[in-house]
Copies of this chain bind each other. A is one copy, B any other.
C-alpha cells in the first residue's frame, strides 16, 4: 500500500513537472491552439442580472455571437432570470461579477450575506454604497470576503459553474487587500480572476509579479469611458482593435435595451446610461464589428478556455 502511494506520488510529480515544462515553453495563445503571436480577444458583457433589459440584450448578443463572455451580479433582483439562462445554456461563458456597490438612484440592492454580518458594506438605508470611494472608506476586508463568498455560493446554488470572477465598478481595486481576497477566492474555487495587467501596473505594481506567477493576466483591457463624439460608436473600439497587440485582450461592454426600464434604472446617468448600452448592443451585434475583428485577424476566446489552462479538469 505504502509503495503504491509513493509510486502514485512520483507519477503525479512527474505529470505535474511535465505540465510545468509545457507551460514554460508555450504561451497562452499556443496553449489555446493558436500561433504564439495571435491576438486573443474576450468580448465581455458586464452587469448580467442587473435588470430585465440587460438580461434580454445580453442573451440576444450571446445568441448572435456578439459577445464571447459575460458576468452576473448575484445581489440583483433579476439574478434568477439570468441564472436560469446560464443553467440551461451550460456552454455560455458566464462568470460572476462580484458586486459591492449599488450606484443607481431609484433602484437598489444590498448584500447577499445576512445584513448584520456585513455592516461595513451598507449605507444607512441598508443598501451597498453608491460609489467606490464610499465603499473603500468604510468596507472591512473580513466582511468583503464574507460577502464575496456568499455571492459565489449563491450563484453555485443556482446551478452556475462560473468560468471566471470579476468585479463591479472595479471596487476591489480600491484596496490591495480586497483584490488579494478576490485572487484567493479564485484559487480556492479554481476559477480565473480578471487580472488586467495595465490596471495592476498602475494600481498595485508591487503585486504584479506575484499575481502574474499565479494567474493568467489580461495584457490589455479596453472599456469605453466616454461617449464617442459625433455618435461614432465604432471609432474607439476600432482604434483599440486596430492597435491590438499579441496576447490576451479584453473589451468590456455594457449591454441593455434602451427602454422604459433601462431609462429608469439609469436615470441621470448619461455615462453607461440606457442609450449608451443600446449603442454597445447594436455595435457588438453588427456586421461592421464582426468585419473589424476578422479584418484584423482577431481570435475570439472565452474565459472557459483560460480556466481550462489555469485549472485543467484532470488536476481537479
Instruction: Say which residue of B80, B115, B257 sits within 8 Å of A108 (CB atoms).
Output: B80
> Which residues of A100-147 are within 8 A (CB) of B?
105-109, 112-117, 124-126
Supposing A52-B260, A52-B264, A261-B259 touch, asked if A106 and B126 sit within 8 A by C-beta, the answer is no
A265-B52 contact given A77-B77, A257-B260, CB 8 Å threshold: yes
Q: Which residues of B contact A265 (CB under 8 A)?
A: 52
Most buried by B among A52, A124, A125, A257: A52
Complex formed: what's the CA distance from A52 to B56 in Å? 17
**What residues of chain B lie closer than 8 Å to A80, measured between beta carbons?**
105-108, 125
Residues of B within 8 A of A113 (CB): 115
Contact residue among B76, B81, B109, B116 (Cβ-Cβ distance under 8 Å from A116): B116
Asked if B56 and A81 sit within 8 Å, CB to CB, the answer is no
Asked if residues A56 and B264 are in contact (CB atoms below 8 Å), the reply is yes
What's the minimum C-beta distance from A104 to chain B, rounded to whole angstroms?
A: 9
A183 to chain B, nearest CB (A): 26
Copies in the complex: 2
A81's partner among B84, B106, B125, B157 (CB-CB below 8 A) is B106
Determine whether the beta carbon of B107 is less than 8 Å from that of A77.
Answer: yes
Closest B-chain residue to A51, C-beta based? Answer: B261
- Complex Cα distance, B52 from A105, in Å, reads 13
Write out the residue numbers on chain B whose beta carbons fall within 8 Å of the beta carbon of A307: none
Q: Which of A112, A260, A261 has the most CB of B within 10 A?
A: A261
Interface centre among A114, A154, A257 (most CB of B within 10 A): A114
A109 to B116, CA, bound (A): 18
State how many angstroms separate the Cβ of A43 from the closest Cβ of chain B: 24
Number of interface residues of A (CB under 8 A): 35
Answer whether residue A272 sits at the interface, using C-beta atoms and an 8 A cutoff. no
Interface residues of A in 59-84 (CB under 8 A from B): 76-81, 84
Asked whether A56 and B260 contact (CB < 8 A) given A125-B154, A154-B126, the answer is yes
Q: Are A81 and B114 in contact (CB under 8 A)?
A: no
A157 to B125 Cα, complex, angstroms? 8
Given A116-B114, A264-B52, A264-B56 in contact, is the A108-B125 Cβ separation under 8 Å? no
Taking the closest CB of chain B, its distance from the CB of A245, in whole angstroms, is: 40
Chain A 160-197 interface 0/1 with B at a Cβ cutoff of 8 Å (1 = within): 00000000000000000000000000000000000000
Residue positions of A touching B, CB distance < 8 A: 51-53, 55-56, 76-81, 84, 105-109, 112-117, 124-126, 154, 157-158, 257, 259-261, 264-265
Given known contacts A53-B260, A77-B108, what 15 new A-B pairs fall within 8 Å (CB)? A52-B261, A52-B264, A52-B265, A53-B261, A77-B77, A80-B105, A80-B107, A80-B108, A81-B264, A114-B114, A114-B116, A125-B154, A259-B261, A260-B261, A261-B261
Closest 5 CB pairs of A and B: A81-B106, A114-B116, A114-B115, A261-B261, A52-B264
